[in-house]
Chains A and B, each alone.
Chain A
Amino acid sequence: MKNDMTKKAAEETKTPEIETLEMRPVVDIIECEEGVTLFFEVPGANSKTVDVEVNDGVLYVNAKSSLKRDGRQIVYKRAFQISDAVDVEKISAKTVDGVLKLVLPKSERAKVHKIKVGC
């Protein structure tokens, strides 16, 4: 009973959740020998509010922005399917001035290895 009352009181004092507006951030994808670099525009988001996750071969980007539109908080969301050739363990992310930079390195197995043929 006491627990119920405590729970009810906690619910009443809980601040109302701000409605969010999901948006698709624009992205540049650049390929280089070492892998692929993605640049997402996520204005109003920073390293504390950006969440990058790889689950079942899909890369998810979720960035909460401080910007609002029509009273709703903007949340940038986008997902890409990636192959096994990406070294998931070595994916790095950095946010600078509202731009999220993701580096997806190729796994050693996927890199082109040139082998010289001896005489």
Chain B
Amino acid sequence: MEGERGEEPEEERSKKEGDLKMNMLTRNGNTWEMNFGIPSMEHLMRRMFDLAGADRAGLAASRMEVEVRDADVLIRMPAPGCAPDNFDIEVVNDFVTVRVKRECDCADNPAGEKHYILRERSFEEFEESVKLPVGVKGHEASAKYVDGVLELTIPREDAKKNASHVIKVK
């Protein structure tokens, strides 16, 4: 845990966790500079191949959460910083595909001169597909976007009825 401080030297911990040590606003001559730890080679390579986010609960890795319930199937997919218009959802039989295209929210940043000191977030277009284990009614699907998570609800075709069946063995 990064929050637990004082157990080992700061530099060692930063290197081990691959975290960024930010010595913010270090005075150098007449200008202010931001000094950061050198990113690891692994991080640079992952960045080069646009895999920087592959190990997060974000976009690059398949992070679709599929929950099969009695009446429907709930799919949850993290996609922070999007708008409802950014999603293109397709249900074909029991195959669900979600395409996400979002734009950099740089416009949200303070105006004036700015530059990236660290850029880990990815704004690449991506899509994810999943084959559902049960039949669904694609035309009755509904979706909502809450707290950066897409929630897709699709009613089941063979929704379980709460009836018990007693079978006698002859």
Contact = CB atoms under 8 A, between A and B. Distances in A.
Interface of A: 22-34, 36-37, 39, 41-46, 56, 58, 60, 62, 65-69, 74, 76-83, 85-86, 95, 97-99, 101, 103-104, 106, 110, 112
B78 A44 contact: yes
Q: Number of contact residues on B: which range applies?
A: 35 or more
Given A79-B3, A97-B80, A98-B78, A106 B25 contact: yes
B49 interface: no
A104 B110 CA distance: 12
Interface of B: 1-3, 5, 10, 17, 19-26, 30-32, 34, 52-53, 56-58, 63, 65, 76, 78-83, 105, 108-110, 112-122, 145, 147-149
Contacts of A74: 57
28 contacts: A23-B56, A23-B57, A26-B53, A27-B20, A30-B109, A33-B113, A39-B105, A42-B80, A43-B78, A43-B80, A45-B148, A62-B3, A66-B149, A67-B57, A67-B65, A69-B57, A69-B63, A81-B22, A81-B23, A85-B32, A86-B24, A97-B80, A97-B81, A97-B148, A98-B148, A99-B81, A104-B24, A110-B32
A41 B117 contact: no
Contacts of A83: 23-26
A67 B149 contact: yes
Given A30-B116, A32-B114, A77 B149 contact: no
